[in-house]
Amino acid sequence: MSEDFASRYTLANIPRNAAPYQTVRFLDWLERLKSVGMRHDIALGVMVAILTGQRRGDAASNLFKHVTAVQNDEIVKELFVAVREAIAIASPFVGLPNTMPANFGIIAVLKDRGIASIESKSRANFAKEDYEKIGHTTSQAIYRGVGNKEVGQMLAQYMPDFSTYNTFSIFGYLCGGSTVFSLAEVETIVVSAIIGLGATRQARSHTKAAMQLGISVEILSTIDAVAQQIAAWNKTPLPEVLDLAQLRNELSSELEKLATC
């Protein structure tokens, strides 16, 4: 990546006093995620999602560069597709300005290697899929047992445009339409981005959603711990450590209520 490209695209939104990228620490965090059973591509996607929440897309691209440095082009392409998908899924939850530096950074890796195109299975176009229907189904699957039904009701009542966008674009097209990750893997990326962002209420809700979709407490605890350490490195400490035992109890209580309805 040239200095001009980096300054124009990858580093454009980074504060001048930002913590420098540290290869060993970042690779250690990646290995910690893999140690609890995450596939390499999912662990890398989780790291990237946390970093977009932390407004450090530059670090996400550096990590991608180091991870792919010794890989052949086919492996690089496979990892690119996974990271690209993670960034796309994280983007509505953390904001486009926070994800664009990561996008440009991973593009730079491909440009430096002379890779001009990526063959991957794209989402079906809007004429072939009913993304509003998919969005409703996906949203119900994610939030089952989370216990915040009133959120969707309030948005539908008072903010119908936002509600439609939320259903159609986020949970329909992006989350429900993913051809790269399963729904549980999609939610793993979502909760990682939200934890990295420091949005405590949403982090609790999506942690319960991830549990409900089968993501283990061990994995979620490790994601939270890694996010806490990344935030400390970035000098933006997170507001709280997630109380996973309490969240698991809340989920169990809500699922019991649903079972009796």
Q: Is 245 part of any domain?
A: no
User: According to the model, what pLDDT value does residue 127 have?
Assistant: 85
Please list the alpha-helical segments (H only) found in 95-148: 96-112, 131-143
* For residues 231-249, average pLDDT: 97
Is 167 domain-assigned?
A: no
Q: Pick from 259, 227, 249: which is nearest to 94 by CA? A: 227
pLDDT at position 241: 97
Query: In 3D, which of 101, 108, 106, 66 has the Cα closest to residue 83?
Result: 106
Q: What is the pLDDT of residues 72-102, one digit of tens each?
A: 999 999 999 999 999 999 999 999 999 999 9
Position 170 pLDDT exceeds 80 = yes
Report the candidate in 161, 168, 110 with the shortest Cα–Cα distance to residue 139: 168
DSSP classification of residue 130: -
Residue 8 pLDDT grade (very low, low, confident, very high; cuts 50, 70, 90): confident
Query: What does the pLDDT read at residue 131?
Result: 96
pLDDT tens digits for range 129-148: 999 999 999 999 999 999 78
Average of per-residue pLDDT values in the chain? 94
Q: What is the pLDDT of residues 191-223, one digit of tens each?
A: 999 999 999 999 999 999 999 999 999 999 999
Residue 150: what pLDDT?
87
Residue 253 lies in a domain: no
Number of other CB atoms surrounding residue 32 within 10 Å: 17
Residue 52's pLDDT band, with cuts at 50, 70 and 90, is very high
Counts of helices then strands in the chain (DSSP H, E)? 13, 0
pLDDT of residue 11: 77
Among 25-29, 59-63, 76-80, 124-128, which stretch is predicted with the lowest mean pLDDT?
124-128
193, part of any domain: no
Share of the chain above pLDDT 90, in %: 84
Q: How many domains is the chain partitioned into structurally? A: 1
Q: What is the pLDDT of residue 1?
A: 62
pTM of the model: 0.95
Mean local confidence (pLDDT), 160-164: 94
Return all residues near 22 (Cβ < 8 A) that are at least 6 apart.
Answer: 233
Does 76 map to a domain? Answer: yes
Answer whether residue 98 is part of any domain: yes
Residue 180 included in any domain: no
Q: Give the count of alpha carbons within 13 A of 233, CB side only.
A: 22
Of 33, 56, 42, 32, nearest to 197 by C-alpha is: 56
Q: What percentage of the chain has pLDDT greater than the value 70? A: 99
User: What token pair was written down for 75?
Assistant: 């492996």
Structural domain of 66: 3-120+215-240
The answer to whether residue 248 is domain-embedded is no
Residue range 46-62: average pLDDT?
A: 96
CA distance 233 to 17: 12
At 32, the pLDDT band (50, 70, 90 cuts) reads very high
Give buried/exposed letters for 131-154 (b at 16+ CB in 10 A, else e). beebbbebbebbbbbbbeeeebee
Confidence of residue 122 (pLDDT cuts 50, 70, 90): confident
